[in-house]
Amino acid sequence: MLHNKKINKRWFILLGFLLWNTHTTLYAQRIIGYYPDYAYTAASAATIQYAKLTHLYYFSINPTRTTTGQSAGVLGYNDVWFTTASFNDVIAKARTTNPSIKIFIVTGGMPGSDWDLSDRLEYIGNNPAVLNTFCNNIISFITTNNLDGWDLDWEFPQTASARNAHQNMLSAMRTKIDALKTSSCRHYEISIAVGGGYTDLTSPRVCWGNSHTDYINAATVGYVDFMNIMAYDGPVGGSACEFSSQQHYDLFTKSFNDWRTAVSIPAAKINMGVGFYDNSGTAFNSIGNVNTRYNATYWNGGSGCPNMQSKINYVHTQGAAGIFIWELTQDNLCAGTTPACYSLLDCIYQYTHSSWGTWVAPGNPCTLPVTLQKFSGYANGSSNVLSWTTATEQGNERFDIEKSSDGKSFTVIGSVKGNNNSNTFLNYEYTDRTNEKGLAYYRLNQYDLNGTSIHSPTISLRQSSSDFIFYPNPFEAYVEITCPSDEETTVRVLFSDLSGRVLSDELLAVNNGKLQAGQNLAAGVFICTLITSSNTQSIRLVKTKQ
Kind plus residue range of the DSSP H or E element containing 277: none
Kind plus residue range of the DSSP H or E element containing 2: none
d(CA 150, CA 509): 49
Average pLDDT over residues 189-215: 72
CB 260 within 8 A of CB 267: yes
Q: How confident is the model at residue 193 (pLDDT cuts 50, 70, 90)?
A: very high
Higher pLDDT, 436 or 411: 411
Q: What pLDDT score was predicted for residue 363?
A: 67
Window from 2-6, 15-19, 93-97, 156-160 with minimum mean pLDDT: 15-19
Q: How many CA atoms lie within 13 A of 537 on its CB side?
A: 22
Q: What pLDDT score was predicted for residue 7?
A: 33
CB 344 within 8 A of CB 308: yes
Average pLDDT over residues 217-224: 90
d(CA 94, CA 44): 12
CB proximity list for 457: less than 8 A, separation 6 or greater: 10, 11, 360, 375, 443
Average pLDDT over residues 9-33: 43
Where are the extended beta strands (E) located within 181-336?
189-194, 226-229, 270-275, 298-299, 302-303, 322-326
- For helices 305-318 and 344-355, give the axis angle rounded to 10 degrees: 40
Higher pLDDT, 459 or 499: 459
Which of 353, 314, 347 lies closest to 13, judged by CA? 353
Average pLDDT over residues 117-135: 95
Higher pLDDT, 208 or 502: 502
d(CA 80, CA 91): 19
DSSP state of 475: B
Average pLDDT over residues 460-466: 67
| Cα-based angle 246, 252, 254 (whole degrees, multiple of 5) | 115
Q: What pLDDT score was predicted for residue 9?
A: 32
Q: How confident is the model at residue 290 (pLDDT cuts 50, 70, 90)?
A: confident
Q: How far is CA 478 from CA 432, 528, 544, in A?
A: 31, 12, 10
Q: What pLDDT score was predicted for residue 134?
A: 97
Average pLDDT over residues 182-207: 75
In this structure, the strands spanning 469-471 and 479-482 are antiparallel
> Which bin fits 146, alpha (ψ -120 to 50), beta or left (φ > 0)?
left
Which of 519, 375, 364, 538 lies closest to 464, judged by CA? 538
Which of 485, 474, 546, 471 lies closest to 516, judged by CA? 471
pLDDT greater than 80 at residue 260: yes
493 phi, psi to nearest 5 deg: -120, 120
Higher pLDDT, 439 or 385: 385
pLDDT greater than 50 at residue 10: no
Count of C-beta atoms within a 10 Å radius of residue 56: 23
Q: What is the mean pLDDT of the chain?
A: 84
Sign of the dihedral defined by the CA atoms of residues 158, 162, 167, 173, in that order: negative
pLDDT greater than 80 at residue 235: no
Q: How confident is the model at residue 440 (pLDDT cuts 50, 70, 90)?
A: confident
pLDDT greater than 90 at residue 38: yes
pLDDT digit string, tens, across residues 296-332: 999 999 999 999 999 999 998 888 999 999 999 999 9
Count of C-beta atoms within a 10 Å radius of residue 441: 17
Instruction: Tell me the percentage of the chain whose pLDDT exceeds 70.
Output: 86
Domains of the chain: 16-355 (3.20.20.80), 370-463 (2.60.40.10), 469-543 (2.60.40.1930)
Higher pLDDT, 353 or 39: 39
**For residue 351, how far is the Cα from the chain centroid?**
11
**For residue 377, how far is the Cα from the chain centroid?**
19
Kind plus residue range of the DSSP H or E element containing 68: none
CB 35 within 8 A of CB 318: no
pTM of the model: 0.66
Count of C-beta atoms within a 10 Å radius of residue 364: 12
Q: How many CA atoms lie within 13 A of 372 on its CB side?
A: 25
pLDDT greater than 80 at residue 5: no
**For residue 84, how far is the Cα from the chain centroid?**
27
Average pLDDT over residues 229-240: 78
Average pLDDT over residues 337-345: 82
Q: What pLDDT score was predicted for residue 24?
A: 30
Higher pLDDT, 269 or 483: 269
d(CA 501, CA 31): 20
169 phi, psi to nearest 5 deg: -65, -45
- Which amino acid would we find at residue 25? T
Kind plus residue range of the DSSP H or E element containing 531: strand 524-531
Which of 531, 49, 501 lies closest to 310, judged by CA? 501
pLDDT digit string, tens, across residues 95-118: 999 988 999 999 998 766 677 899
pLDDT digit string, tens, across residues 39-58: 999 999 999 999 999 999 99
d(CA 291, CA 345): 14
Which of 78, 80, 97, 157 lies closest to 123, judged by CA? 157
Q: How far is CA 18 from CA 309, 359, 426, 456, 497, in A?
A: 16, 14, 16, 21, 9
Higher pLDDT, 11 or 107: 107
Where are the extended beta strands (E) located within 238-280?
270-275
